[in-house]
Amino acid sequence: MNKLWRGLLMAAAMPAAAANFKVTWLAPADDPRLERTRIERAALGHPAGPALDALRVALAEGRFELDTAGATLQLTQVEVSDAAAAKAAATKAEKDGAAAVVTDLPAAWTLAASDGTKLPVLNVGAAADTLRQADCRRNLFHLGLSDRMRSDALAQALTVRRWSNVLLLSGPGEVDRERSATAQASIKRYGLKLVANRPFKLSADPRERELANTLLLTQGSYDVVWVVDSDGEFALTLPYRTALPRPVVGDAGLVAVAWSPHFERFGAPQVTRRLRKAAGRPMDAHDWPAWMAGKALVAAAVVTPKGPAAAFQKALAEVELDGSKGVSMNFRAWDGQLRQPVLLSDGRSVIDLAPVDGVMHPKNALDTLGADAPEKLCKAR
Amino acid sequence: MTEQRSSGRLFLLALMLGLVQPWASAQGTGYVSSEKDHAITVLDLKTQAVTGTLGTCKRPRHLQLTPDGKQLLVACSESNQADVIDLATRKSVRRFSLGDNPEAFDISPDGKTLYVSQEDEGTLIFVDAATGKTLQTVPVGKEPEGVKVTRDGKTVYVSSEVANLVHVVDVASAKLLKNIKVGKRPRRFALTPDGSQLWVTNELDASVSIIDTQDHTVAGTLRFELKGARASDITPVGITMSRDGKRAFVALGRANHVALVDVATRKVSDMVLVGKRPWSVALDAAEKTLYVVNGLSDDLTIVDVASAKALKTVKVGRVPYTVVLVE
């Protein structure tokens, strides 16, 4: 376990005179995503280390702007072990005078935290679309990609390539069931054809070979195999083991991510290097949303350096952010999701950017990724 | 009909005799750095053709002439060096360190000091041009980009892309005098000839912030609009001004256009379609022709200023960055 995660309270060193905004970071105790074998497996889109490192980088690089405006941000780190603890920690943060809460938690815990406080909750860890739809909240903002944004980005890439016939392989468990439904919605949205949706299972049992053998699973006729596998172990073994010589996309092969250390444009290498300098690893997909949360907090504090909290919260909801993806980004009014380009990467380079060239939208092409306003899936906003 | 033809013949004859020019083609040479070739493309301004390339240090980006006009200074981000190219021989005569990941620079009026933005470090360094020694290091906001020295050499402006600030640096004390909040992702500068206004392009704000250099406040903002393009597709970077300070030329990045701007009224007079992601701009000595480097289409567009039309596109190196003209 990283030392950074043990400390309960860590305050950033800031001059005392200026107006101060307190921020509480909530993350899981003994985070299973950060177990050594998982980090070493380095599946695309999975955490490569504690995302708090990236938030710290954003606060450090915001110092000039904060100093100029006469504001400071003070960070408190709290580890929680379940949804109830997340909720209690959010309530306590508000009571202690915090201005915002940042969460890197599972979806249910994130929801509990946002129900525990009226403060803005910046979600950097949970990709579940329910948090942007049925379970959306007025105070809940999302910096990372939703599953729907990721699958829309992939579907766009398949559409321009005319890889129209998709074989979907879906993992076991509730999360993958939901993500498989999301992938199918994107396949439908972009007019691709679902050839088949087959369940898979990690197993060496010969009686289950229909579920586990990649050659058997990939029989048939298709242009591309789309694998939905939150765990990642099965997906990583799939490329080059398909019955037909076809590319794999989804959770292996070509993967939709919020950031890649191989991204070369828009000043991206500098951002990647700043985290490497601070934490010894390059910025990756899971770090970028935390870095952006820090940037959003800095931007709001710069606009309202004297507060009050209500003005800070309003400024936070209206921030325009530069995240080194070439466009200015802001939160969607209808679900609190940060509009953003999506990178499509094979882990070696950035193959494509979504929205892909040619995809159009009446207002903002970024809204072709994820649930759009007319879908009205979030009732709380 | 006959009349037209004969006047056409006369025109051709005059052209052959060199009496008129179909457009203002300058005499001289253009130098275009290309990030991915580690080379500088050489362009004959008269024939508007590429005549060769010069090898240089790794990942050359910003280029500038020395104040005496005899040497070309190249900042190389990968090899962390300056390359000094003698223009008479077109050979590298000297290389020296420019710190860590130098992006852009400016030269003091006496030619003795370079002011270099260090993209990774978030610093502005002062480098002795004779010895290559770093004289001063001034911490600024992250990803510093554009650097501009005032004509009296007393002040340096540097933009920070991350902090959205223009830093005002006092040369004598190497201290920050002021941080000026401008638009999102400020990039490049132009100073009006009288030094009263500093124009800075804001890449993610589709705008130029105009700073009053007397009190260092933002005196105005010029916002770009282009029919058929959304504000988010207008990403201004390169900027230059005519010698009389009446016109400015701004490359609009993803909008694939260059804006011709009337400085006094702060209004766009013309938009010229060029290549993909126009980046750096340079005006010839006669101020009749504008050279525009297109970062994403690996070419250079030659624009006739009077008619506000693109005349020709010339293929240059991979990911071209800066164009400098020597006439």
User: Can you give the CATH number for the domain in which B135 is found?
Assistant: 2.130.10.10
Please tell me the distance from the alpha carbon of residue B179 to that of residue A62, in angstroms, as a whole number: 13
Q: What's the domain range around B85?
A: 66-181
User: Does residue A14 fall inside a structural domain?
Assistant: yes
E strand or H helix at A41, and its extent?
Answer: helix A36-41
Give the range of the structural domain holding residue A70, as residue numbers without chain letter: 3-145+260-340
What are the φ/ψ torsions at residue A184 (nearest 5 degrees)? -65, -35
Question: A188 and A111, same structural domain?
Answer: no
Tell me if A33 is assigned to some domain.
Answer: yes
Same-domain check for residues A239 and A264: no
Mean pLDDT of all residues in chain A?
92
Q: Is residue B121 part of a domain?
A: yes
Task: Give the whole-number percent of chain B exceeding pLDDT 70.
Answer: 92
**Same domain, yes or no: A154 and A253:** yes
The answer to whether residue B83 sits within a structural domain is: yes
CATH code, domain carrying A171: 3.40.50.2300
Q: Reduced to 3 states, what is the DSSP secondary structure of residue B213?
A: coil
Counted domains in chain B: 1
> What integer pLDDT is reported at residue A211 of this predicted model?
93
How crowded is residue A191: how many other Cβ atoms within 10 Å of its Cβ?
Answer: 9
Please name the residue of chain A whose CA is at the shortest distance from the CA of residue B296.
Answer: A265
Backbone angles phi, psi at A159, to 5 degrees: -65, -45
Number of folded domains that form chain A? 2
pLDDT score at B10: 54
Does B308 or A37 have the greater pLDDT score? B308
Measured in angstroms, the CA of A149 and the nearest CA of chain B are apart by 20
> In this structure, are A28 and A68 located in the same domain?
yes
Contacts of A2 (CB under 8 A, 6+ apart): A34, A49, A50
pLDDT given for residue A9 in this prediction: 37
What's the pLDDT at A262? 95
Looking at the structure, tell me whether residues A239 and A281 fall in a common domain: no
- Which of 17-76 (B) contact A at CB < 8 A? none
Within a domain: residue B302?
Answer: no
Label residue B27 by pLDDT band (50, 70, 90): confident
Q: Which residues of B187-215 are buried (b: 16+ CB within 10 A; e: fewer)?
A: bbbbbbeeeebbbbbbbbbbbbbbbebee
CB contact under 8 A, A328 and B119: no
Of A240, A257, A274, which residue sits at a domain end? Answer: A257
**A325 and A214 both lie in a single domain:** no
Tokens of A306: 């004297």
Q: How confident is the model at residue B273 (pLDDT cuts 50, 70, 90)?
A: very high
Burial class (CB in 10 A: 0-12, 13-18, 19+), A123: buried
Q: Render pLDDT for A190-210 as a digit per residue (tens, 0 to 9).
A: 999 999 999 999 998 889 999
The answer to whether the peptide bond before residue A305 is cis (omega within 30 degrees of 0) is no
Q: Does the CB of B254 have a partner CB in chain A at under 8 Å?
A: yes
**Are A128 and A273 in the same domain?**
yes
- Are residues A272 and A132 both part of a single domain? yes
Q: In angstroms, rounded to a whole number, what is the distance separating the alpha carbons of residues B315 and B49? A: 9
pLDDT at A232 over 70: yes
Instruction: Decide if A84 is inside a domain.
Output: yes
Are A64 and B205 inside 8 Å of each other by CB? Answer: no
Residue B89 lies in a domain: yes
**Residue burial B45-77, b: 16+ Cβ < 10 Å; e: rest:** beebebeebbebbebbbbbbbeeeeebbbbbbb
**Per the domain annotation, does A361 fall within a domain?**
no
Quote the pLDDT of residue B11. Answer: 53
Q: Quickly tell me which residue has 């948090």 as its tokens.
A: A131
| Model confidence band, residue B279 (pLDDT cutoffs 50, 70, 90) | very high
Angle A295-A300-A306 (CA atoms, 0-180°, nearest 5)?
Answer: 135
User: What residue in B sits closest to A265 (Cα-Cα)?
Assistant: B296
Q: What are the start-end ranges of the E strands in B77-196?
A: 81-86, 91-97, 102-107, 113-118, 123-128, 134-139, 144-149, 155-160, 165-170, 175-181, 186-191
Q: Specify whether A251 is located in the same domain as A268.
A: no
pLDDT digits (tens, 9 = 90+) for B192-223: 999 999 999 999 999 999 999 999 999 999 99
Contacts of A69 in chain B (CB under 8 A): 181
* Residue B97 belongs to some domain of the structure: yes
Note if the pTM is more than 0.95.
no
**Residue A175 and residue A234 share a domain:** yes
Residue A110 has pLDDT above 60, yes or no: yes
**Residue of chain B whose alpha carbon sits nearest to that of A273:** B120
Domain boundary among A209, A239, A257: A257
Q: Is pLDDT larger for residue B14 or for residue B240?
A: B240
Alpha carbons A325 and B52: distance in angstroms, whole number: 35
Instruction: Check: CB of residue A188 under 8 Å from CB of residue A148.
Output: no
Tell if the CB–CB gap between B163 and A364 is shorter than 8 Å: no
In a domain, A82, yes or no: yes
Domain presence at residue B153: yes
Answer whether B163 sits within 8 Å of A65, measured CB to CB: yes
Across the interface, of B142, B181, B184, the residue whose CB is closest to A328 is: B184
Question: What is the reported pLDDT for A307?
Answer: 84
**What is the helix (H) or strand (E) element at residue A61, kind and residue range?**
helix A52-61
Residue A16 has pLDDT above 50, yes or no: no
Residues A22 and A139 in one domain: yes
Is residue B172 in a domain? yes
All residues of chain A having their beta carbon less than 8 Å from the beta carbon of residue B184 are: 320, 322, 328
- B130 within some domain: yes
**Which residue among A257, A274, A305 closes a domain?**
A257
Q: What is the ipTM of this complex?
A: 0.74
Residues A323 and A204 grouped into a single domain: no
Average pLDDT over residues A162-177: 96
Confidence (pLDDT) at B2: 43
Evaluate whether residue A379 is within a structural domain: no
Least confident window among A18-32, A285-299, B3-17: B3-17
Contact call for A327 and B179, based on CB within 8 A: no
B residues 160..219 contacting A (CB < 8 A): 160-165, 179, 181, 184-185, 204-205
Query: Across chain B, what does the average pLDDT equal?
Result: 91
Better-predicted residue by pLDDT, B4 or A147? A147
pLDDT digits (tens, 9 = 90+) for A260-297: 999 998 889 999 999 999 999 999 999 999 999 999 99
